[in-house]
Chains A and B, each alone.
Chain A
Amino acid sequence: MAETAIRIRAQMKDDVTEVKALMSHEMETGLRKDKKTGEVIPAWFIKDVVCEHNGKQVMVAHWGVAVSKNPYLSFKFKGAAKGDTVKVSWTDNKGGAATSEAKVE
């Protein structure tokens, strides 16, 4: 059962659209050991986050393992109109990916 991998809210006030996104991801640092086996739990984290407005890139984030689990991101940009599409996509170090869209309100 797939739940929304990236939850997005995009709200416009005056000319500025504030985008907030909550992502579902372990963001494993690669520095922890499994308590039972003693083995290092491999790093597993989102590396790139691409944010687009109406198909045009507005922000690209590069993340390391210090970003918290179930990461949150918020940024602001100008020039949108209500009903426009904001899209957020991520790729992680294991080749995993997710993408989600929301309309500007």
Chain B
Amino acid sequence: MKRRTFLKGTVASSMLGVAVSAGLLTPRMVLAAWPESAFGAKNVDDALNALLGSTSTSESSAIDIKAPDIAENGAVVPITVSTSMSGVESIAVLIKENPSPLACSYDLSANTEGFISCRVKMGKTSDLIAVVKSGGKLHSAKKTVKVTIGGCGG
């Protein structure tokens, strides 16, 4: 196993828990408010309505979800959503069987590719749904990820 070298941040980073200073978000940036009702929604349709204003999605084979068939551990499931579509405005990840299906959503700028990789929690076997907004339309793909009960207390 190779020795990993890792980059440290070049500028001193603030400690965990330090209050946000006024300079953190400059007026130039537009930060959409955290979508509270979307994250609070208890089913996929409500979450999509709250987040994107619609539940009309069309399945697309241009969206690739890389996720394990069987999650080794439901607390940390590594996933990657990528798409060959251009002009991707946002990517949302929903886990259907989670208490609140919306896991995360990403707003992408014009130069940013339709590619997101992250690690999510899955409470049980569930469809993992990716919704990509591109060209004003909503496209989706899904993959079933099994979450199992280990025998070693894991």
Interface on A for B, CB 8 Å cutoff?
Answer: 2, 4-9, 16, 20, 24-25, 29, 31, 47-48, 50, 52, 55-69, 71-79, 85, 89, 91, 94-103, 105
Closest to A48 in B: B34
Cβ contacts A to B, 8 pairs, < 8 Å: A6-B13, A50-B31, A67-B121, A68-B75, A78-B111, A97-B14, A97-B20, A102-B7
> Shortest CB–CB separation between residue B130 and chain A, in angstroms?
14
Query: With A78-B111, A99-B24 known to touch, is A61 a contact of B14 (CB < 8 Å)?
Result: no
Contact between B109 and A59, CB atoms less than 8 A apart: yes
Query: With A8-B9, A75-B113, A96-B19 known to touch, is A62 a contact of B14 (CB < 8 Å)?
Result: no
Query: With A60-B107, A64-B100, A66-B121 known to touch, is A77 a contact of B113 (CB < 8 Å)?
Result: yes
B56 at the interface (CB under 8 A from A): no
Known: A57-B109, A94-B17. 19 other contacts (CB 8 A): A5-B14, A20-B117, A50-B25, A57-B30, A62-B104, A62-B106, A63-B104, A64-B102, A68-B119, A72-B117, A74-B80, A75-B113, A77-B113, A89-B24, A91-B20, A98-B15, A98-B16, A100-B9, A102-B10
Q: Report the tally of A-B residue pairs with Cβ distances under 8 A.
A: 165
How many chain B residues touch the partner (CB < 8 A)? 53
Interface on B for A, CB 8 Å cutoff?
Answer: 6-11, 13-21, 24-26, 29-32, 34-35, 39, 75-78, 80, 95, 98-100, 102-109, 111-113, 115-122
Tell me which residues across on chain B come within 8 A of A78, comparing CB atoms.
111-113
Chain B CB within 10 Å — which of A6, A73, A98 has the most? A98
Tell me which residues across on chain A come within 8 A of B31, comparing CB atoms.
48, 50, 60
Majority secondary structure, A binding face: strand
Give Cα A97 to B121, complex, Å. Answer: 22
Contact between B116 and A75, CB atoms less than 8 A apart: yes
Give Cα A103 to B10, complex, Å. Answer: 7
> Shortest CB–CB separation between residue A11 and chain B, in angstroms?
9
